[in-house]
C-alpha cells in the first residue's frame, strides 16, 4: 500500500530517555519544496491581483507619478494647488517625523491619490466605451467613422499586455431591457407558430401582463441590476441548473470530441499522460492569469469570470438544491478503470509530474488486475441518477470513515479521469462510428463517469479521447478554450516517441497510485443500482447521429455574402419543416460575455421571415429569384436578432428573471407561466473556434476538431450542435429520443444535408445567370 510506503518516512521510538524522533531527510526535503512552491503561488497570485487591480495602469506608473510630483516640488511648483500642504498639516510632528519627512510623505500620499484617481477615471472611460454596441450592427466590411474612432479609443485605454482578468472591472453591467421591447419581440417570435385566433389570445394575455404586474416586477429587477454584478447569471445557475432534481447526465452535461481524423498515439496511458500534463500547464496559466483574454475584433474584451471554476470543482448534491464547491491548489486526480477508483498525485518535488511519469502511473493502473470492491463498480452511477436519492445516500453512507475519505478524494480532485476499456472514434468505413463515439462521451456505461465533476477526461484504449462537462459552472466555449490548448500542446509541443510513448525519462521510484477504499452496505448498493437503472433508461433512449458535411463550408458561404451561422440556421428550419411538416419554437444559444459575468441568451431562430423562405422553398410556383430574396431577408433578420441577444436586448433571460421575481413576490402571472412552459423542440448551438492560431489547418488539414454536442431538450424534439471547421467542413451532432415516434436523428441529418445543398443551389443558379 502507498500509505505504508510513505509511513516509514516518519518513525518514533519510546526510550528511557524519552521519545526518539526519526525523520527522513528525503521527506523533509519534499516538505520544504512543497512549502516553497506554496509560497511562490501565493506571491504570484498577489502580484497578479495587484496588476489586475491597477489595470490599465501598472505599478511602475505609480513610481513615475511620485517622481513627477517630487520633481515639481523641487522646482517650487505646487501641482496639488495646496492639497499637499493640507495633508502635511494633518500629519503628526515628532522626533521621528521631521518637517522634511512630512513634506515627502505628503507628496507621496498626494501622488498615490492622484494615481488611483486616474486609474478609476480610465476604468470608467473604458467601461463607458465598452457600453457602445453600434459597431456590432454595422454591415460586414463597412465601418463608420464613429466606430473607427471608438475602436482607437478602446485600444488606447486597453493597455498593452492585459492578464486574463484585467478587464473584469471595466466591463459594463448587463442592461435590463424595457418591458415594451421584450413583449414586442416575444409576440413577433411566436407569430409564425400561432394561427390568428391563438395569436390574438396571446396578444391579449401579453398586454394584460404589460399593464400589471409587469411594471412592479420590472422595478424590482432593475433594483437587482443596480446592486448585483449581473442580474441574470446567479439566478440562471441556481434555478436552471442547481435546483433541477432530474439526472444531469444527458439532460444537462455536454461533451467535446477529440481531433476528428488523427490519433497521435494508440497507447492509452501515453495519451492520458500527455493530455493530463497539458491540462496542468493550462491550469497553471489560468491560476496565474497568464492566458490572453478573449477579445472580439481583437480589441473588445469578453468576460473571463467562468474560467475561475474550471478545475478543482464539483457539484455537490442536496435535497432541495445542489451547490458548486470550488477549491484551490488541488494536487491529485481520481482515475476510474474497470470498476476501480485510484488516487494519483500530480506533483513531485514541487513540480508537475512529467508526461512520462504520468504515463507510468496510468500504465500501473491499467496493469492492476485487482477486482472492484463490493458496490464500487457502479458507484459513480449515483451522479447519473436523480439528485435527491444521491443527496440522501451521500449524507447517510458517505459521512464518515473510509467512505468519507474516499468521496472527499473524488470531490476535491483537480478533475476526473476515466481510462475506458472500449475503443471509439471516427471511422469512415463505419457510418455509426461517430454516433457511438458521441453516446459514449455523453453517458458512457452510466457508471464510469463522475458526472458531478466540473469535467471528466475520457481516454479510450485506442488512444482516442474526449471530455464530458458539467454545465452549471460554465458554458461550452469555456471548456472549448481549454480543449483547443490541450489538443495543440499534445500534438505539436509535447509529442511522442517513435514507439508512441511520452517523451522524457521515467522515474520509477514514484509511489504507485492509491486504491480508494470503500465500505458500502447492501442498502447503499441497492440505491446505487436504482440510480443505474434510471440512468440506463435515459441513455438507451438517446438516438444520436453525427453528420459530417464536407460538400462545402465557411469559405463558399462567405462568397455568397451570408453569415455562415445564419445560413446553417435557415437550413435547420428547412430541415425541420421537411422532417415534421411544421415549424416549432427554436432555441439558438448566443453569448452575453461582453458584459460582466455574462453567460448566454436565446436567439429565437424561427421567424416570420424564415418561415416565408421555407414555404417558398417547398412551393414549386416560386422562382429561385424570389426564394433567394426571401433567404436574404431571413438571414438579415437572424443576424439582427443574434446581435440584439449579444448586446443584452434578448427576450428569454429578461422574461425568466421577471418570472423569478413574480414567484418570490407571490404574484401569479398566466403570461409568464405560459412563456416558461413552452417546449423548445429544436434546440441548437454553435461550437466556436476561439484560438485559430494554435493549429494551422492549412498546413495540417487533418488536425481539425470534431466539436461536441448535448442531449435532446424536448421529448419529441431535436438537439443540434454544429462546428464550422476550416473552409470546407461542418460537423453536426444531432440528438433525439428513440421513444418519440416523431423523431429520427439519422433522418434529420439527411434532411440537414439536403437543405444545405438546396440553399447552395440558389446561389449556383444566380452565378450561372451572371
The residues near 612 (Cβ < 8 Å, ≥ 6 apart) are: 630, 633, 634
Nearest to 392 by CA among 245, 532, 533: 245
Q: Which of 689, 581, 571 is nearest to 638 (CA)?
A: 571
Q: Of 337, 443, 471, 481, which residue is the catalytic one?
A: 471
> DSSP assignment of 204-251, as one string?
HHHHHHHHTTHHHHHHHHHHHHHHSS-TTHHHIIIIIIIT--S--TTT
* CA 398 – CA 439 distance, rounded (Å): 30
10-15 and 18-23 as β-strands: parallel, antiparallel, unpaired? antiparallel
Note whether 321 and 242 are within 8 A (CB): yes
**Nearest alpha carbon to residue 131 among 180, 167, 174, 179:** 174
How far, in Å, are 186, 396, 585 from residue 602 at the CA level? 12, 40, 11
Q: State whether residue 295 is helix, strand or coil.
A: strand
| Cα separations in angstroms, 730 against 222, 417, 430 | 41, 29, 19
Cβ–Cβ < 8 Å for 688, 479? no
| Residues 562, 711: Cα–Cα separation, whole Å | 29
- In order of 12, 14, 16, 23, the CA distances from 20 in angstroms are 6, 6, 10, 10
The answer to whether residue 471 is catalytic is: yes
Question: For residue 603, which of 623, 573, 575, 581 has the smallest C-alpha distance?
Answer: 573
> What is the Rg, in whole angstroms, of the alpha carbon atoms belonging to the chain?
29
Judging by beta carbons within 10 Å of its beta carbon (0-12, 13-18, 19+), is residue 149 exposed, middle or buried? exposed
Residue found under cell 467601461 = 127
Distance CA 647, CA 353 (A): 44
Helices vs. strands in the chain: H and E counts, helices first: 24, 22
- Residues pairing with 344 in the sheet: 333
Residues 77 and 68: their CA atoms lie apart, in Å, by: 11
CA distances from 220 to 178, 215, 649, 677 (A): 13, 9, 18, 23
How far apart CA 748 and CA 751 sit, in angstroms, is 5
Distance CA 736, CA 549 (A): 19
Placement of cell 442547481 in the chain: 242
Residue 570 in contact with residue 634, Cβ under 8 Å? yes
Closest residue by Cα to residue 82 from 53, 106, 48? 106
CA distance 673 to 209: 11
Return the active site residues.
471
Amino acid at each position: 500500500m502507498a500509505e505504508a510506503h510513505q509511513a516509514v518516512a516518519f518513525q518514533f521510538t519510546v526510550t528511557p530517555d524519552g521519545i526518539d524522533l526519526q525523520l527522513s531527510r528525503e521527506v523533509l526535503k519534499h516538505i520544504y519544496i512543497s512549502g516553497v512552491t506554496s509560497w511562490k503561488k501565493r506571491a504570484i497570485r498577489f502580484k497578479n491581483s495587484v496588476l489586475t487591480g491597477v489595470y490599465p495602469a501598472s505599478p511602475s506608473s505609480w513610481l513615475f507619478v511620485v517622481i513627477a510630483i517630487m520633481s515639481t516640488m523641487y522646482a517650487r511648483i505646487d501641482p496639488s494647488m495646496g492639497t499637499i500642504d493640507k495633508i502635511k498639516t494633518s500629519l503628526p510632528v515628532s522626533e521621528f517625523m521631521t518637517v522634511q519627512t512630512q513634506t515627502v510623505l505628503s507628496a507621496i500620499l498626494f501622488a498615490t491619490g492622484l494615481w488611483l484617481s486616474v486609474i478609476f477615471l480610465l476604468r470608467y472611460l473604458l467601461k463607458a466605451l465598452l457600453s457602445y454596441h453600434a459597431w456590432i450592427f454595422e454591415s460586414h466590411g463597412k465601418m463608420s467613422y464613429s466606430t473607427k474612432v471608438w475602436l482607437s479609443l478602446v485600444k488606447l485605454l486597453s493597455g498593452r499586455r492585459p492578464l486574463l482578468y484585467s478587464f473584469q472591472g471595466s466591463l459594463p453591467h448587463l442592461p435590463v431591457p424595457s418591458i415594451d421591447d421584450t413583449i414586442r419581440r416575444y409576440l413577433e417570435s411566436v407569430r409564425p407558430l400561432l394561427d390568428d385566433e391563438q395569436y390574438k389570445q396571446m396578444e391579449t394575455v401579453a398586454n394584460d401582463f404589460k399593464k400589471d404586474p409587469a411594471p412592479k416586477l420590472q422595478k424590482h429587477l432593475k433594483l437587482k441590476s443596480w446592486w448585483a454584478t449581473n442580474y441574470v447569471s446567479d439566478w440562471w445557475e441556481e434555478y436552471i441548473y442547481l435546483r433541477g432534481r432530474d439526472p444531469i447526465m444527458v439532460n444537462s452535461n455536454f461533451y467535446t470530441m477529440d481531433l476528428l481524423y488523427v490519433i497521435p498515439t494508440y497507447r492509452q496511458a501515453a495519451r492520458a499522460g500527455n493530455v493530463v500534463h497539458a491540462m496542468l500547464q493550462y491550469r497553471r496559466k489560468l491560476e496565474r492569469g497568464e492566458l490572453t483574454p478573449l477579445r472580439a475584433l481583437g480589441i473588445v474584451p469578453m468576460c473571463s469570470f467562468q474560467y475561475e471554476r474550471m478545475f478543482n470543482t464539483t457539484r455537490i448534491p442536496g435535497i432541495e438544491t445542489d451547490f458548486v464547491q470550488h477549491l484551490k491548489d488541488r494536487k491529485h486526480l481520481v482515475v476510474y478503470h474497470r470498476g476501480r477508483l485510484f488516487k494519483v498525485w500530480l506533483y513531485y518535488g514541487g513540480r508537475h509530474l512529467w508526461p512520462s511519469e504520468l504515463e507510468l502511473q496510468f500504465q500501473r493502473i491499467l496493469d492492476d488486475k485487482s477486482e472492484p470492491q463490493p458496490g464500487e463498480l457502479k458507484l459513480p452511477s449515483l451522479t447519473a441518477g436523480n439528485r435527491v436519492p444521491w443527496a440522501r445516500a451521500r449524507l447517510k453512507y458517505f459521512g464518515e470513515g473510509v467512505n468519507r475519505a474516499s468521496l472527499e478524494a473524488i470531490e476535491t480532485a483537480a478533475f476526473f479521469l476515466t481510462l475506458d476499456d472500449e475503443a471509439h472514434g471516427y471511422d469512415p468505413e463505419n457510418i455509426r462510428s461517430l454516433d457511438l463515439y458521441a453516446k459514449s462521451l455523453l453517458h458512457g456505461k452510466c457508471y464510469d463517469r463522475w458526472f458531478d465533476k466540473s469535467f471528466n477526461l475520457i481516454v479510450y484504449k485506442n488512444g482516442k479521447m474526449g471530455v464530458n462537462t458539467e454545465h452549471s459552472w460554465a458554458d461550452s466555449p469555456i471548456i472549448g478554450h481549454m480543449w483547443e490548448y490541450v489538443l495543440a500542446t499534445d500534438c505539436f509541443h509535447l509529442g511522442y516517441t517513435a514507439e508512441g510513448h511520452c517523451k522524457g525519462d521515467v522515474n520509477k521510484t514514484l509511489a504507485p497510485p492509491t486504491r480508494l477504499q470503500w465500505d458500502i452496505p447492501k442498502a447503499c448498493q441497492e440505491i446505487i443500482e436504482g440510480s443505474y437503472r434510471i440512468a440506463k433508461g435515459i441513455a438507451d433512449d438517446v438516438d444520436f447521429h453525427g453528420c459530417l458535411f464536407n460538400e462545402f463550408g465557411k469559405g463558399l458561404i462567405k462568397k455568397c455574402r451570408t453569415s455562415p451561422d445564419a445560413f446553417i440556421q435557415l437550413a435547420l428550419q428547412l430541415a425541420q419543416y421537411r422532417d415534421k411538416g411544421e415549424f416549432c419554437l427554436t432555441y439558438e444559444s448566443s453569448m452575453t460575455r461582453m458584459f460582466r459575468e455574462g453567460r448566454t441568451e436565446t436567439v429565437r431562430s424561427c421567424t416570420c421571415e424564415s418561415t416565408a423562405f421555407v414555404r417558398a422553398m417547398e412551393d414549386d410556383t416560386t422562382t429561385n429569384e424570389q426564394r433567394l430574396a426571401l433567404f436574404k431577408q431571413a438571414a438579415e433578420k437572424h443576424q439582427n436578432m443574434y446581435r440584439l441577444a449579444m448586446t443584452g436586448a434578448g427576450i428569454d433571460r429578461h422574461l425568466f428573471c421577471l418570472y423569478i421575481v413574480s414567484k418570490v413576490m407571490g404574484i401569479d402571472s398566466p403570461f409568464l407561466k405560459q412563456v416558461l412552459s413552452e417546449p423548445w423542440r429544436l434546440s441548437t448551438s454553435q461550437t466556436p473556434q476561439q484560438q485559430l492560431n494554435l493549429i494551422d489547418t492549412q498546413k495540417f488539414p487533418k488536425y481539425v476538431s470534431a466539436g461536441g454536442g448535448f442531449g435532446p431538450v424536448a421529448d419529441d424534439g431535436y438537439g443540434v450542435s454544429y462546428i464550422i471547421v476550416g473552409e470546407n467542413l461542418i460537423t453536426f451532432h444531432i440528438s433525439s429520443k428513440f421513444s418519440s415516434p416523431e423523431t429520427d436523428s439519422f433522418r434529420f441529418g439527411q434532411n440537414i444535408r439536403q437543405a444545405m445543398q438546396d440553399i447552395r443551389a440558389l446561389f449556383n443558379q444566380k452565378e450561372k445567370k451572371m
